[in-house]
Structure 1
Amino acid sequence: AARGEARALHWVFKVGSLSGTLRFLGSVFGMRALRHEEFASGCEATCNGPYGGRWSKTMCGYGSEDSLFAFELTYNYGVGSYKRGTDLRHIAIRSIEGTVGSPSAGVEPQFAPFQRANQLDAAARLGVPASRHADGSVTLSSPDGYQFLLVDDTCSSAATGPAA
């Protein structure tokens, strides 16, 4: 987003397997841990949910949170899993061959250059199951069960995902 424009900063995932989720996001999507914070007790604003014990927050993404979207991984020590609701169907990620903008021209790329075949190979090496859909899209599940829908320009439902 241009300076001063409103934009989404991050999306929060409560995870029971912090190391597994970091490995998944790093290996499959090329993300890295941007920062990690430890907390001795629960957050008064319930940042970590209705838990009073020790917890951590790890931001992951592709670069500076000042200009790029990130995932926030909230981990409550001693909580191995969470009951999933129905508020998040999936995170859709569009594969593209190049990037919009050119670093050599002094324009920062707006998208990470995904090549779905590379993502699927990385997921297979981790043992992540891939669900292929008739429209060409593919769904991957994170270690905590969050769904990541991979689409590209050849998918008939690139904007909305596969029909349920």
Structure 2
Amino acid sequence: MSSETSLQESTSDDRRFLHFTMKITDRLATKKFFCNILGMKILRHEEMDSGCSARCNGDFDSPWSKTMAGYGNENSFFALELNYNYDVQGYEYGNDFSSVTIYNRQAVSNARQYLDKKFIEIDNKQSITIHSPDGHRFILIDEDVQPGDDPVRCLSLNVSNLKTSIDYYTRLLKMKINENESNDNHIKLYYGLKTTQQSKVKTKSGFLVDNQCQLELIEVKHSIDRGTGYGRKAFSCPKNDVELIENVIEKEGHDILIPAMELGGFLGFNKEKIVILSDPDGHEICFVGEENYFKGCEADPDAEKKFYKGLENKPDDPNKYLIGEDKSTKQQDKQ
């Protein structure tokens, strides 16, 4: 797959749905949920002294940590980016996020056996719907995927106008529609390839593109309130596409939260080229150039040690703000 094609010529087969960010308030409880119940692993952990220039942790200038959790390396498996802001005690969660769907029989068994009943929403023979410590909904299906496939099958978000959202994601961002799993009330979108065989098609940089996690958009017919605990979805693409995507979105008059920029450069890796968009309902979207991101997204064998070390670094601040994401919560205003 060529990384030199223009956006108009691209079939989008060289893009991958990487991860979704979640703001959390209790790292240890969240870690136990993702690892002990869902069966994921801590892939990477980083501690930051100040807010991210790309607002990965939200609109905060305070110290924060990032923990990546998933069933395998992010070049082949979908991940959840768990962001913890040290100066924020809690968030207002809106109606933007719906659920994450996972096919994993062991996770279903773990939830039924070990999860506190207050976190269980629905339990039937085929599936169980549960909530994380911060209230994020997970639908666990009592089936396993084929060996080597990703158990995370779908991220579901709510939208106010399905027709408008379909136009944005398919015409402008070149996502494809899974006609077999869509109707008038919701639609499932994907990048890459949908196959019934055990193929392993990869981009030039090495990202797996077949049978990726899907993005489901569900129409709720009223305005979307993202609250202060909103997330952000991230996709990889050839780095040459980053500015092309930005140009298309700008030409159509849609919001660009952060114009194309370079981010990172840690541990000797080259900086990653990114652009941050906002869809018609305000859902945030990050596109990152795959060439350099591939080098930095491999699982760190010391990730769990770094996670526990991070718990010791900065004790809970009794003066944390109860609800975050306004001017009063920024570190510069607390000093």
Report the alpha carbon displacement of residue 60 of structure 1 after superposing the two structures with TM: 0.8
Counterpart secondary structure, 1:8: strand
Q: Percent identity?
A: 39
> What stretches of structure 1 of length at least 5 have no aligned partner?
97-113, 154-158
The aligned counterpart of 2:79 is: 70
1:74–1:22 Cα change, 3 Å: same
- CA gap of 1:94–1:47, structure 2 versus 1, over 3 A, is same
Query: What residue in structure 2 maps to residue 49 of structure 1?
Result: 58
More strand by share: 2
- Counterpart among 118, 121, 124 of residue 113 in structure 2: 121
Q: State the 4+ residue runs in structure 1 displaced beyond 3 angstroms.
A: 133-137
CA shift in 2, pair 1:50/1:30, >3 Å: same
| TM-score computed with the length of structure 1 as normaliser | 0.71
Counterpart contact for 2:57–2:85, Cα < 8 Å: yes
Post-superposition offset of 1:129: 2.5
Is residue 22–residue 32 contact of structure 1 (8 Å, CA) maintained in 2?
A: no
Query: Which residue of the other structure, out of 5, 23, 31, is the alignment partner of 2:40?
Result: 31
Q: Secondary structure at the match of 2:97?
A: coil
Alignment of 1:70-89 (within 5 A): 70-89=79-98
Tell me how far 1:95 sits from its aligned partner.
3.8
Bigger relative contact order, structure 1 or 2 (CA pairs below 8 A, ≥6 apart): 2
Match of residue 132 from structure 2: 142
Do 2:43 and 2:69's aligned partners in 1 also have CA atoms closer than 8 Å? Answer: yes
Matched length: 134
Q: Structure 1 pair 10/150, CA: closer, same or farther in 2 (3 Å)?
A: same
Report if the CA contact (8 A) 2:38-2:110 is conserved: no
Q: Which residue of 2 aligns with 1:21?
A: 30
From 1, 7, 19, the equivalent of 2:16 is 7
Residues 23-78 of structure 1, C-alpha deviation per residue, up to 9 Å, x if partnerless? 10111111121111111111121111011110011111122122211110011002
Structure 1 CA distance, aligned partners of 2:87 and 2:118? 24
How large is the RMSD of aligned CA atoms in angstroms?
Answer: 2.5
Q: Secondary structure at the match of 2:69?
A: strand
| SS across alignment from 2:115 | helix
Partners in 2 of 1:115 and 1:74 — Cα distance? 23
Return the structure number with greater helix share: 2
Mapping 1:143-158, distance limit 5 Å: 143-152=133-142
Q: 1:131 aligns with which of 114, 118, 121?
A: 121
Secondary structure of the residue that 1:131 maps to in structure 2? Answer: strand
Is the contact between residue 120 and residue 129 of structure 2 (CA under 8 Å) also seen in structure 1?
yes
Structure 2 residue identity aligned to 1:130 = I
State the TM-score, normalizing by the size of structure 2: 0.37
Q: Which amino acid aligns with 1:49?
A: G
Question: Where does residue 100 of structure 2 map in the other structure?
Answer: 91
